[in-house]
Each structure stands twice: as structure tokens, then as C-alpha cells.
């Protein structure tokens, strides 16, 4: 699943990003409200984590804008303010949950999982094709009942394929979703990761699910 963190304190943003990526989430970071708004409106995220006190556009105004634009993505709001009035203001702006700084990462992670489960009520938490399934809450992958061990990037790639099964995905689309704007298009990293994923998902089974579309990219489908 893909998460956007909008946090101007760079150490805090890196701490959250690193922790979530270790839990197999794909994470983008913005350090001000305007950049966060651009990403939130232009990309598809499963969860937004917004600080209240942001430069250029604060978290409350950003949340209101997103809700006015009919963005229903779950929002977890972070703030150093602890009064009931502050919490009410955050929730009234359209946020789904509220976490006070400083916080333990375990609590942040628990709230992230809770919000993602809530969002999964609208779309199945278990993604399937043929005998392959991926539980996006527990991050467990299985094929024919056998557990598949995945790295963080392999998991993100498999989830992206499953959410877009039958759709041809170009290398550019894959790179933007999995690696973000930092990706070096001059490398063959995507092909390397797809081959690693194939070795785990397809190589021991008679039916191939990940297919190459020559000159374009890849598609996950049943033959």
C-alpha cells in the first residue's frame, strides 16, 4: 500500500518513512502543505499522514481542501498540540484519526493499520489472481497455499501488479509508483526486480502470471 507523509521536520519525516518502509509500505514524503496537496491530488494513496503545523499550507487547510475535492483517502493527523479543542479541530476538518507528538512508532503503526483496514472495507484487503493471493493487512503472500517470502520492494511490486491485473504497466509507471521521483531511468533495476519476483511467484508453478510485453513493460494476467 502507498502512503503519503506530509511533515516539515525532516528527521521526523525520515523516521516515519523508514519505519513504514520496513513494514512493506511504499512511502512518499512532502515537506510543506503545497507539495503535499499536489501529490495527494495527483497520485492515488491508501493513507495520508499530515502534520498540522506545515509551511505554505497547514494540515487543517490541506485536509479541508482534499475533502472539498472529494478525496476520501483516510487521513491521520500529527500534532504537538494536546488540547481537546485542537483534536476536535483536526477531526472536524475531515481527518480520520489524530496522534499527538511525541509518539511511539508502535502506536503510529497500529493507527496506520486500523485506518487501512477501515479503507479496505471498500476494497478487498486480500488481492487474488488464480492461486496467488496477497493479504495487504498482514503482508502475507501465498501461492497454492505456500507462503512466499518477499523483500520490501518485491512486496510493493507484487501489490501494484495485483491491483492492476490485466493492465499493461510500463516501466515508467512502475518506477513512479514504487520508487517515486528519485528513480534513475537509466538503470535496469525494474527488470531485475521483476525477475526476482518471477523467480518467487512463477518459477515453481506451471501457470505463469507475470508476462513481458515487449517494448512496453509487464502485465499480470492468467493465460
Q: Do domains 2-120 and 126-220 have the same CATH topology?
A: no
Q: In the prediction, which pLDDT does 119 show? A: 63
**Residues 74, 112: contact at Cβ < 8 Å?**
no
Q: Over 70: is that where the pLDDT of 15 sits?
A: yes
Q: What is the CATH number of domain 126-220?
A: 1.10.10.10
Backbone angles phi, psi at 104, to 5 degrees: -80, 140
Q: pLDDT at residue 1 above 60? A: yes
Q: What are phi and psi of 164, to 5 degrees?
A: -125, 35
Percentage of the chain beyond pLDDT 70 is 91
Residues 53-79 have pLDDT tens digits of: 999 999 899 999 998 888 888 999 998
Cβ atoms of 138 and 170 closer than 8 Å: no
Q: Which of 29-38, 108-117, 165-174, 180-189 has the lowest mean pLDDT?
A: 180-189
State residue 49's pLDDT score: 96
**Closest to 166 measured CA to CA, from 97, 119, 213:** 213
Task: Give the C-alpha separation, 165 to 220, whole Å.
Answer: 5
Per-domain boundaries in the chain: 2-120, 126-220
pLDDT at 90: 67
pLDDT tens for each residue of 17-58: 999 988 888 899 999 999 999 999 988 888 999 999 999 999
CATH topology for the 2-120 domain? Rossmann fold (3.40.50)
How far apart are the C-alpha atoms of 157 and 5, rounded to whole Å? Answer: 20
Amino acid at each position: 500500500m502507498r502512503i503519503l507523509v506530509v511533515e516539515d521536520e525532516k528527521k521526523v519525516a525520515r523516521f516515519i518513512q523508514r519505519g513504514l518502509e520496513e513494514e512493506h509500505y511504499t512511502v512518499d514524503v512532502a515537506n510543506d502543505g503545497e507539495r503535499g496537496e499536489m501529490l495527494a491530488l495527483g497520485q492515488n494513496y491508501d493513507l495520508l499522514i499530515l502534520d498540522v503545523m506545515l509551511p505554505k499550507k497547514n494540515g487543517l487547510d490541506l485536509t479541508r481542501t482534499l475533502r472539498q475535492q472529494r478525496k476520501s483517502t483516510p487521513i491521520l493527523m500529527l500534532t504537538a498540540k494536546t488540547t481537546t479543542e485542537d483534536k476536535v479541530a483536526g477531526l472536524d476538518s475531515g481527518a480520520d484519526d489524530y496522534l499527538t507528538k511525541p509518539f511511539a512508532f508502535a502506536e503510529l503503526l497500529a493507527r496506520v493499520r486500523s485506518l487501512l483496514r477501515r479503507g479496505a472495507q471498500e476494497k478487498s484487503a486480500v488481492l487474488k489472481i488464480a492461486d496467488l493471493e496477497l493479504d495487504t493487512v498482514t503482508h502475507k503472500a501465498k501461492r497454492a497455499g505456500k507462503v512466499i517470502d518477499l523483500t520490501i520492494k518485491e512486496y510493493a511490486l507484487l501489490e501494484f501488479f495485483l491491483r492492476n491485473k490485466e493492465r499493461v504497466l510500463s516501466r515508467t509507471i512502475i518506477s513512479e509508483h514504487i520508487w517515486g521521483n528519485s528513480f534513475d531511468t537509466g538503470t535496469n533495476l525494474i527488470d531485475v526486480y521483476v525477475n526476482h519476483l518471477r523467480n518467487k511467484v512463477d518459477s515453481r508453478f506451471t501457470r505463469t502470471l507475470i508476462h513481458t510485453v515487449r517494448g512496453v513493460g509487464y502485465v499480470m494476467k492468467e493465460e
